[in-house]
Structure 1
Amino acid sequence: MRASRMFPALAAVTAAALMTVPATAVAPSAGTAVPAEGTYYVQSATTGLNAADAGGTVEQHRPRGDEDHQQWLLRASGSDHVLESVDRPGRCLGRDGAAAGVVDCASDSAVWAVDDVGEDRHLLREPGTERLLTVRPKPSGENYPAGLGVGGASELAHWYLTPAQPVRHPLPPAGDRTLDQVSFLTTHNSYANGVDGGFAPPFINLAPNQVRGIEQQLADGVRGFSFDIHQTPDGAILCHNSCFWVSSPVALWVDLQRIVDFLNAHPDQVVTVFLEDYVDPEVLRSEIERVNGLPDVLYDPARTGVRQNGWHTMDELIAADDRLLIFTDHSRAADAAAGLTRDQFGVMYQREWTVENYWSMGPGIGGSDWACYSRWYGAGENIPLTRTEPGFRPLFVMNHFRDVPVEATARTDNANALNRAERFCQPAARKKPNYLMVDRYDVGDPAAAVASLNRYWY
């Protein structure tokens, strides 16, 4: 380990406090601040899903940008406001008894008092009452119902009014940019490249996610890597689904060593690794301990006060030699039950530090689904893309690839990555992507999309 750190005073924060992800409390009182008139998404602060006109009813749907009747024009109506459908002039988001509906904008049931409850959240309240637009409570073991309702005060009645055209701020000077203000080109299944070794049975080897090895990816400017690791008698091995029949398999430590060697040769660079993780924690720890120099560059935000104070600047990370982040998608609860958590040896639990959209846009050919919604939203867990905490913004991993990597499709998809990021995923997450993850980064110029994202801060 290094002899000194940049933030020694913060290292004493207890592990128990760092492991806690606080829920946002319902504000005790409402103010009167209202966003300026304009076009907005009405976005649940609980689920991250958008209010959409669903043929006359109002439902929460996966964010789809300017598609699917999800944009609403906020305008004054006396001392209150209406939300008029951008696609159906004269029809507004309103009330139909205990349900939300699309009603005539001239009717009393279309009018809302918009109350500010802090943290950029609002209540949409029937004037003169305490009846609020709300997500309906979910039945035990199920997702929240699609249909929206009118009910009492709770966290489910908190809404973001997310601008369809958000204000973009110039990035601070290079030395002052924090990690969550920067975007990185990231490769999906970085190891499945047909160059460094085998990653699947031969018939799957014919469809690699990448066609350049890890060292070339680093030389080309890739700064985020995703690895699937599976457990075998030889340790943590990189492969798809199963390592059975894989010829010339590559161990995780081999590719991590390539990355650490690159960082040692380029002391001004920062790299992130995402693990799709199917190994025991002891196996992963043994694998990491094989990598020469890894402890010297490993960044552990839990030990440096990030959750309390926000992400460090890139210059601070470089000066402290905190230049390698490793995330796992594994469950903390499962590790704790086994007696060894991965963050004890510097691997962070992704759900605690990032948000991530669903991984697939569809099959390898044909139409694509650009909806941008959380990978971790379902009956058993709810981590919306909009999640924030006091003083801390989770990093946003934007997945932008298909089920099967087909070169022609990847070329088209990558050429449209910026379009999807700005029209669909940035409003869905209320932040820009920090990691743009793609197949076949060598086609369609996704690096240009990352360069454009790095011109501003959402």
Structure 2
Amino acid sequence: MLDVYEFRGDLWLCHSIGQCFDATAFRPLNSTLLEVASFLDTNPNEVVTIFIEDYVTTPNVLKNHFLSTGLMKYMFPLSLMPRDGSDWPTIASMIASNQRLIVFTSDKTKEGTEGIAYQWNFVVENQYGTLTETCSNRAESAALTDTTKSLILENYFPNDPNIDDACVINSASLAEAISVCHTAAGNRWSNFLAVDFYKRSTAGGVFSAINKLNGQHHCGCNDIHQCQASSTQGGCSAVTAHAVLTPAQISRKSEGPAPSPESSSTYVTMSKIIFCTHFLISCLSLFLQF
């Protein structure tokens, strides 16, 4: 999730209001895009999704940054994105075609001028900055129940990041929030989960929430590890231990080294959820791999 502004004669990541300032600038966009390119180059079985909050007004500058960083060759074509609420391609087909980068922009004009998908044609999203027992769409989004949009992005973080409160926010209340948004979206589970400080939680926290979403998407179970081999819906087994997603598969905030993963799980690579951390970090897609 990248906030992109024109600044110092270039494009910069910047969390600001209206324009970028020295105090709100983070770093040039190219630095992050080169990291994404390196990741895709060295991880041929991964798919990355980038949401751009787009404040770029100069024509073709954003597109040219994807060209100059070598990312255009990975871009999933706008022409293949479903506009009628139908299913997206599986990650296996994206890998086979090497179209492993999905990019959305908040600027509607760029869909016609630069071939970058307008987010609100494909995604519904709840209001960010709210930690309440309700789940309603943000102003730019269609209603969460709009089934012509295949993807659901769920925000769960306060307006002002607070590392001290993150353990509480990312634990029991997060588990409740994904159920609340499921109901609000017409019994559809979220495909994207945006949080702050994803490693700060108790009793599984963010990873338990992801396991639940993956399980519901894949087989209708409350944990991806309950899904029986070759099952689609309703084949749930008992969970003996909770595995976590491989940290290399999720986008990182600067919180020190990632935790060591447990042994790999068949279902992790088959999951449908996309997990991302809020602000300036791209999201890694984990669609069904079959």
TM-score bracket relative to the smaller structure = 0.5 to 0.7
Residue pairs, 1:93-242, within 5 angstroms: 226-241=1-16, 242=19
Letter in 2 for 1:306: P
**Residues 91-121 of structure 1 deviation map (CA, whole Å, 9 limit, x = unaligned):** xxxxxxxxxxxxxxxxxxxxxxxxxxxxxxx
Q: Is the 8 A contact 1:376 1:384 kept in 2?
A: no
- Cα deviation for residue 375 of structure 1 reads 0.7
**Matched residue, 2:176:** 419
Change (3 A) 1:263 1:372: same
| Residue in structure 1 matching 2:124, options 355, 359, 373 | 355
> What is the CA distance between 1:452 and its match in structure 2?
1.9
Identity %: 29
Matched, 1:410 2:166: yes
Which of 286, 304, 307 aligns to 2:83? It is: 307
Q: Counterparts of 1:371 and 1:429 in 2: how far apart (Å)?
A: 11
For the pair shown, the structure with the greater C-alpha radius of gyration is 1
Task: Give the letter for the 1:239 counterpart.
Answer: C
Is 2:64 the partner of 1:286?
yes
Number of matched pairs? 209
**What is the deviation of 1:442?**
2.0
RMSD, matched Cα? 2.1
User: Is structure 2 residue 114 aligned with structure 1 residue 345?
Assistant: yes
| Structure 2 residue matching 1:373: 3-state secondary structure | coil
Q: Distance in 2 between matches of 1:449 and 1:428?
A: 17
Instruction: Give me the TM-score of the superposition, normalised by structure 2.
Output: 0.66
Cα distance in 1 between the residues matched to 2:80 and 2:21: 41
The residue that corresponds to 1:443 in the other structure is 200
Deviation at 1:407, TM superposition (A): 1.2
Question: What CA distance in whole angstroms lies between the structure 1 residues aligned with 2:145 and 2:48?
Answer: 24
| Aligned CA distance change for structure 1 residues 246 and 283 (closer, same or farther; 3 Å) | farther
Measured in 2, the distance between the counterparts of 1:295 and 1:429 equals 33
Aligned residue number for residue 184 of structure 2? 428
Q: Select 2:146's aligned residue among 376, 387, 396.
A: 387
Shift of 1:433: 0.8
Give the structure 2 partner of residue 59 of structure 1: none
State the match for 2:20 in structure 1.
Answer: 243
TM-score, normalised with respect to structure 1: 0.43
- How far apart are residue 440 of structure 1 and its match? 1.0
Aligned match for 1:322, one of 69, 91, 99: 99
* Separation of aligned partners in 2, 1:447 and 1:271: 19
Q: Is the 8 A contact 1:343 1:349 kept in 2?
A: no
Matched, 1:456 2:216: yes
SS at match of 1:358: coil
Structure 2 residues not aligned, in runs of 5+: 221-290
Q: Distance in 2 between matches of 1:284 and 1:297?
A: 16
Residue 447 of structure 1 deviates from its aligned partner by: 2.5
Question: 1:261–1:231: structure 2 CA closer, same or farther, 3 Å change rule?
Answer: same
Which residue of 1 is the match for residue 43 of structure 2? 266
CA deviations 1:263-318 (Å, max 9, x no partner) are 111111111111111111432123222212x1221112x32262365311121111
Aligned to 1:399: 155
> Residues of 1 paired with 2:123 and 2:44: CA distance?
25
Q: Is the 8 A contact 1:274 1:328 kept in 2?
A: yes
Aligned with 2:133 (options 352, 370, 380): 370
Q: Following TM superposition, by how much is the alpha carbon of 1:343 offset from its aligned partner in structure 2, in angstroms?
A: 5.1
Flag the structure with higher strand content: 1
Unaligned runs of 5+ in 1: 1-225, 336-340, 362-367
1:51-66 aligned within 5 A: none
Q: Distance in 1 between matches of 2:3 and 2:189?
A: 25
Give the AA of the match of 1:231.
Answer: E
CA distance in 2, matches of 1:442, 1:271: 20
* 1-structure distance, mates of 2:25, 2:120: 32
Stretch of structure 1 that moved more, 307-316 or 403-412: 307-316
Assess, with a 3 A threshold, how the Cα gap between structure 1 residues 408 and 387 changes in structure 2: closer, same or farther: same
Alignment CA distance shift 1:247-1:357 (3 Å): closer
Asked if the contact 2:5/2:13 (under 8 Å) is kept, the reply is: yes
- Counterpart for residue 32 of structure 2: 255
Counterpart position of 2:280: none
CA 1:249/1:307 → structure 2, altered by over 3 Å: closer, same or farther?
closer
The code of the aligned residue for 2:165 comes to T
Tell me by how many angstroms 1:245 deviates. 2.3
